[in-house]
Amino acid sequence: MRQNLFARLGLPYYLHGPAYAENTDEARALHHLCHALNLAGEEAYVTEEGDGALHTPRLTQDRIEAHLRAGRKPIVIYPGSIDDNPLGADQVVRYLLSPAGMQTTLGTPPGEMLVAWRAGLATADVPLLSTPLADDAAYAVGRQQFARQLQAFIEASQRRFNPSFAAPASPASARPAGPRIVPGRLAHPLDRPAAPASAGLPPRPSHSPIPVRAAPAAPMPPAAAHVQPTAPQPPLLQGLKTTPAASAPAPAPFKRKKRIVVYSVESTWSPCPQIRLIRPFAHLQDEWELVWGIRDGQLQGDYLNNADLIVLHRFTPGLMSIATLQTIFASRVPIVYESDDLLNDIPHDHPEAQQGASWKEGIEYAVKHAKAVVVSTEFLASKYRDLNPAVYVLPNYIDYDLFYRPVPQSTAVDGKINIGLLGSSIQPSNFALVDDALRALVERYGERLHIDFVGWECPKGWEGHPLTTFHSFVHQYVDYAAQLRQWNWDIALIPLASDEYNQCKSYIKWLDYSAAGIACVFSDVSVYNEVVTHDSTGLLMPNASQAWLEAVTLLIESPEKRHALAETAQQAIHAGFDLNAKAALYNATYGKLAG
């Protein structure tokens, strides 16, 4: 933001490209860049219709003439699909968005500069400007980098074309992180303009609150139609050149991505959406667009324009009235129910048991009426097949590099052994399986041990124990992965009582802990014995206190055994469960359901 009220304004930016409603990578990149430039304090315009949720004013002839009268010749940004200069501008930026041969700054005309959307679209001397195409995991990881690229682009383009430009006095490192494409950290996806309603289709929900049980169900209003201006538009940049501009060739078409609208009340940075949706589809960005369809507790019906699938995620349909679900199912877009837990049948000692009782009706309605159900385990699939035979199993995988920590080569210098239990492992019915063993261990080893409890509340009787630390559950998935590495656990305990709810769970803890180089002890139940090889990639123990005591004692006394278990398991995860190599399974399954 410019602070000097009377400072000379920089040159404006005109971005020439398709309307935002075309929903192509090219359209999104140009409109998001215009939005980012305006948020950064610059003045930027688009030549075609934008989106009401973005700061992308449309260019008019009056605005062009005002700029020219003030001596502010525009910097016109063309996508790489346009080879000539249809607007007849003197100052041109070519924004390379798709492969079209390795372009280089050598031979670039004096009135032009090049930038590329990603490496590989041009030679290394062409600067990058990786404008986010969506509010997804890739943007969360790369936001700071984009902010730096944007600031560098502004300074380079203004310096190139504006003789009076003065670079900011403060160093780049002291500047703010840069504009956010959307508010919040992965708070919601980028909005899309509504399209005209198709004949014969029922009204789509549009910005409607999710009705609570106590409230009468209200029908959701149809999305507003996107109205194109009927008045003829004057020619752009009239008078910038004395010779007429050449007509532009038709832009190279971009492949349309398949769109999934996710109805989930869980934040996109929380673990379950990250594991089951955000991260798998971040590996499929060339094929799929993932849009979060609930914002501030309201259904965003306009996101259904051009949607190929709707995903009802986990307990979200349990929060909706049946009338609301009926309206969603009337949209004619195929609907999938997705979950990795048996959330319509939660045990009494679970932290969400009370809420879970109220979810049952909505979840089971969604399961019955969905085109398909996608779950993480075969046992969970068997629980839903009585309600819907079209159940698909997509196992959990992880981004291995996110969790990777080298296996500790030896015991810490102080000789201390760190033991960890997390999440469901400290729920009463599960923790009871190891409680006595842990008490015997702290009595035997004293200060040689330290135990971390991570979850909703500390296990009963362990509050304030001098050899333990209780950590509140880390809700942001990326932060959880970082914290897991930093806790430096030598041993993780995963007790799991044998009941139907637990048997529906996935082996995600084995993936996380093993990638982080931790030796693990598991209950010998189907969740784990189907993937863990006893005495090789983990220890599988019967749910008896003495068995747990002996297993943990073995790992405390034998650093070699700890190291061997952790290293073998880590290699197994890298070889067979790295999401980078398994994302194609998501593409195949969801592609079939969208077809």
**Helix, coil or strand: residue 299:** strand
Give the list of residues 6+ apart from residue 139 with CB closer than 8 angstroms, or none.
Answer: 132, 146, 181, 186
CA within 13 Å, CB half, 24: 16
What's 52's domain CATH number? 3.40.50
- Count Cβ neighbours within 10 Å for each residue of 554-577 and write b for 16 or more, e otherwise: ebbeebeebbebbbbbbebbeeeb
Q: Is 320 exposed, middle or buried (0-12, 13-18, 19+ CB in 10 A)?
A: buried
- Count Cβ neighbours within 10 Å for each residue of 243-270 and write b for 16 or more, e otherwise: eebeeeeebeebeebbbbbbbbebbbbb
pLDDT digits (tens, 9 = 90+) for 270-283: 899 999 999 999 99
Instruction: Choose from 186-190, 253-257, 494-498 the range with maximum mean pLDDT.
Output: 494-498
Residues 365, 421: one domain? no
Residue 228 to residue 453: CA distance in whole angstroms: 58
What pLDDT sits at residue 170?
Answer: 44
pLDDT digits (tens, 9 = 90+) for 181-198: 332 222 233 333 333 333
Give the list of residues 6+ apart from residue 420 with CB closer than 8 angstroms, or none.
Answer: 451, 452, 454, 487, 489, 491, 492, 493, 518
Token representation of residue 444: 């035997």
Residue 115 to residue 586: CA distance in whole angstroms: 33
Higher pLDDT, 210 or 36: 36
269: confidence class by pLDDT, cuts 50, 70, 90: confident
> Dihedral of CA 427/432/433/434: which sign?
positive
Give the list of residues 6+ apart from residue 63 with CB closer than 8 angstroms, or none.
Answer: 45
Residues 378, 461: one domain? no
What pLDDT sits at residue 412?
Answer: 61
Identify any residues that bridge with 337 across adjacent strands, giving them in sequence order: 312, 373
**Could you tell me the strand order of the sheet in which 208-209 lies?**
208-209, 298-299, 294-295
Q: CA torsion angle for 463, 464, 467, 473 (degrees, to 10)?
A: 60
What pLDDT sits at residue 107?
Answer: 57
The answer to which of 214-218, 462-466, 575-579, 586-590 has the lowest mean pLDDT is 214-218
Residues 292, 361: one domain? yes
For residues 491-520, give the mean pLDDT: 95
Q: How far apart are the first and last CA of the chain?
A: 47
Residues 440, 385: one domain? no
What pLDDT sits at residue 4?
Answer: 61
Higher pLDDT, 347 or 378: 378
**Helix, coil or strand: residue 419:** strand
Share of the chain above pLDDT 90, in %: 58
pLDDT digits (tens, 9 = 90+) for 105-150: 555 777 799 999 988 888 888 999 999 988 766 677 778 899 999 9
**Residue where a domain terminates, one of 166, 184, 207:** 166
Does position 169 have pLDDT exceeding 60, yes or no?
no
Residue 309 to residue 374: CA distance in whole angstroms: 13
For residues 57-66, give the mean pLDDT: 90
Residues 571, 462: one domain? yes
User: DSSP class of residue 393?
Assistant: E
Identify any residues that bridge with 72 across adjacent strands, giving them in sequence order: none
Residue 361 to residue 345: CA distance in whole angstroms: 11
What pLDDT sits at residue 141?
Answer: 72
Nearest to 487 by CA among 462, 460, 458, 453: 453
The CA-atom distances, in angstroms, between 49 and each of 270, 277, 513 are 34, 31, 49
Residues 515, 498: one domain? yes
Tokens 């430039």 belong to 37
Domain ranges, residue 477: 400-577
Residues 390, 409: one domain? no
Residue 482 to residue 402: CA distance in whole angstroms: 8
Tokens 């995903």 belong to 311
Do 136 and 186 meet the contact criterion of CB atoms below 8 Å apart? yes
Q: How many domains does the chain have?
A: 3
What pLDDT sits at residue 441?
Answer: 98
What pLDDT sits at residue 165?
Answer: 67
Q: Please indicate, yes or no, if residue 454 is contained in any of the structural domains.
A: yes
From the CB of residue 511, how many other CB atoms can be counted at a distance below 10 Å? Answer: 25
For residues 358-362, give the mean pLDDT: 94
Residues 129, 83: one domain? yes
Q: Please indicate, yes or no, if residue 287 is contained in any of the structural domains.
A: yes
Residue 45 to residue 64: CA distance in whole angstroms: 10
Residues 148, 269: one domain? no
Token representation of residue 137: 């995991």
Do 20 and 50 meet the contact criterion of CB atoms below 8 Å apart? yes
Q: Please indicate, yes or no, if residue 183 is contained in any of the structural domains.
A: no
Residues 570, 463: one domain? yes
What pLDDT sits at residue 590?
Answer: 98
**Could you tell me the strand order of the sheet in which 335-339 lies?**
288-292, 258-263, 309-313, 335-339, 372-375, 391-393
Residues in the chain: 595
Does position 365 have pLDDT exceeding 80, yes or no?
yes
For residues 320-337, give the mean pLDDT: 95
Do 176 and 36 meet the contact criterion of CB atoms below 8 Å apart? no
Residue 128 to residue 150: CA distance in whole angstroms: 9
Does position 167 have pLDDT exceeding 90, yes or no?
no
> Dihedral of CA 336/341/342/348: which sign?
negative
Q: Please indicate, yes or no, if residue 202 is contained in any of the structural domains.
A: no
**Could you tell me the strand order of the sheet in which 75-79 lies?**
44-46, 13-15, 75-79, 92-96, 112-116
Residue 158 to residue 104: CA distance in whole angstroms: 20
Q: CA torsion angle for 15, 19, 25, 31 (degrees, to 10)?
A: 40
220: confidence class by pLDDT, cuts 50, 70, 90: very low
- Per DSSP bridges, beta strands 92-96 and 112-116 are parallel
Q: Please indicate, yes or no, if residue 242 is contained in any of the structural domains.
A: no
For residues 154-181, give the mean pLDDT: 60
Instruction: Choose from 91-105, 121-135, 413-427, 455-469 the range with maximum mean pLDDT.
Output: 455-469
87: confidence class by pLDDT, cuts 50, 70, 90: confident
**Residue where a domain terminates, one of 110, 133, 166:** 166
Higher pLDDT, 86 or 229: 86
What pLDDT sits at residue 413?
Answer: 62
Q: Please indicate, yes or no, if residue 190 is contained in any of the structural domains.
A: no
**Residue where a domain terminates, one of 166, 190, 220:** 166
Give the list of residues 6+ apart from residue 246 with CB closer than 8 angstroms, or none.
Answer: 84, 85, 86
For 86, the enclosing helix (H) or strand (E) is none
Do 418 and 487 meet the contact criterion of CB atoms below 8 Å apart? yes
What pLDDT sits at residue 192?
Answer: 32
Give the list of residues 6+ apart from residue 5 with CB closer than 8 angstroms, or none.
Answer: none
Alpha helices in 210-282 (DSSP H): 271-273, 279-282
**Helix, coil or strand: residue 148:** helix
Residue 535 to residue 562: CA distance in whole angstroms: 10
For residues 257-275, give the mean pLDDT: 92
Residue 73 to residue 240: CA distance in whole angstroms: 8
Q: Please indicate, yes or no, if residue 244 is contained in any of the structural domains.
A: no
From the CB of residue 429, how many other CB atoms can be counted at a distance below 10 Å? Answer: 18
The answer to which of 273-277, 350-354, 523-527, 549-553 has the lowest mean pLDDT is 350-354
Identify any residues that bridge with 538 across adjacent strands, giving them in sequence order: 534
pTM exceeds 0.85, yes or no: no
What's 547's domain CATH number? 3.40.50.2000
Dmax (CA) for the chain in angstroms is 91
Q: Please indicate, yes or no, if residue 229 is contained in any of the structural domains.
A: no
Residues 389, 419: one domain? no
pLDDT digits (tens, 9 = 90+) for 535-583: 999 999 999 999 999 999 999 999 999 999 999 999 999 999 999 999 9
Residue type, 203: P
Nearest to 422 by CA among 532, 295, 510, 294: 510
Residues 362, 452: one domain? no
